[in-house]
Amino acid sequence: MIVFKRFFWCLSILFTFFCATVTEGAIPRPARIFGTVTVDGTALTQDTDDGYTFEVTRPDGSAFEPPATLPDGLNCPAGYSINIPLYDAVSQPGGAVPEETAVIHVYKSGSSLSVTSPNNGQFSVGEAGAITQMNLVAVSPAPVQYQLATAVTGGHGTVSPTGGTYNEGTVVTLTAVPAAGYGLPAWSGTDDDSSASTTNTVTMNTNRSVTVSFVPIRPGIKSFTAIPSKITKGGFSTLTWNIVGATSASINNGIGAVSPAGGSIQESPAGTKTYTLTAGNPAGSVTRTVTVTVEDNPAVPKIQSFAATPDTINAGGSANLSWSITGATSASISNGVGTGRFLPRVEPTVKERLSR
């Protein structure tokens, strides 16, 4: 429908142009220019002319009256057609004078394109009723570009990208990576300097300079254990630790500096000891403790007595076995008598029948 209206408009202009008569005091017939339009090497058509406008002005940019414009793209299937009003002292004092220099402008979405043919868009206005073919060649302007510079203040991390050249309006995403022991960054020069995130943006509407600094954070001790936590004298316990964000770590009781990331070590204390793990970085330090309990070795059990009464029997007879034990947790007798648990100083009696 739009194409039909533009085609009908073009035919109407042609009809009016050729059928107009000049009488005393009448408006002069315009000088017409028409032709194809090529933008960035591609021919413009009524299917691709959205956002394009055309205007013919004087070299100083002032408009003719009535204006010589196409406000809605191409008005003919094969290109454009513009009537240039000609001067008449009474009826059209704002018109152009034949052979006067005029300039044709091409715009895309309000931005001016550079017309390279005719050179700088300049041409001579024709006589009344003249029809001049003038194929236009235009080039889109180079995009406006701005420089981005980024830096880390005080070190302890990185920011990317480190800089670059970007077209006007480009939104650049920035990523900050803190070093171990450092946390959320402080931004300056971004779209949102109040952000505490490790990502931010900067819109390139001018040259931009962005800085980021990293704030130290205290380390964290994820675990500190002693396995086993209870040993006998001469035994060993393994101390194991896991730390995040530390630049130094140590354990007391003569162990000293240890890995600030994590590790393990065997200890054989002579007595019960409490071990303190200290992890630190520029933001401060944290501690955690474990205790290894040391117990005395158990005493060797003693058999106070073990007797058979009588100690001599006839075949088919029996004897009483009796015993007294201290410090034992278990005891057994051979020859099928068996095993058992006995409290200190208890003297149970077991009978066994012996046959000869």
- Digit-coded pLDDT (tens) for 269-327: 999 999 999 999 888 899 999 999 999 877 778 898 888 898 888 887 888 888 888 87
Q: Which residue has the tokens 């029809």?
A: 131
Where is pLDDT greater, at 294 or 184? 294
Q: Is the peptide bond before 77 cis (omega within 30 degrees of 0)?
A: no
The pLDDT tens digits for 90-123 are: 999 999 999 999 999 999 999 999 999 999 999 9
The Cα-based distances of 111 to 22, 34, 51 in angstroms read: 39, 22, 10
Cβ neighbours for 261, distance < 8 A, ≥ 6 positions apart: 242, 243, 246
Q: Which long-range contacts (CB under 8 A, 24 or more apart) does 296-300 make?
A: 296/232, 296/233, 297/232, 297/233, 297/234, 298/327, 299/327, 300/327
Mean pLDDT for the stretch of residues 255-280: 96
Lowest-pLDDT range, 8-17, 166-175, 195-204? 8-17
The pLDDT tens digits for 24-79 are: 458 999 999 999 999 999 999 999 999 999 999 999 999 999 999 999 999 998 89
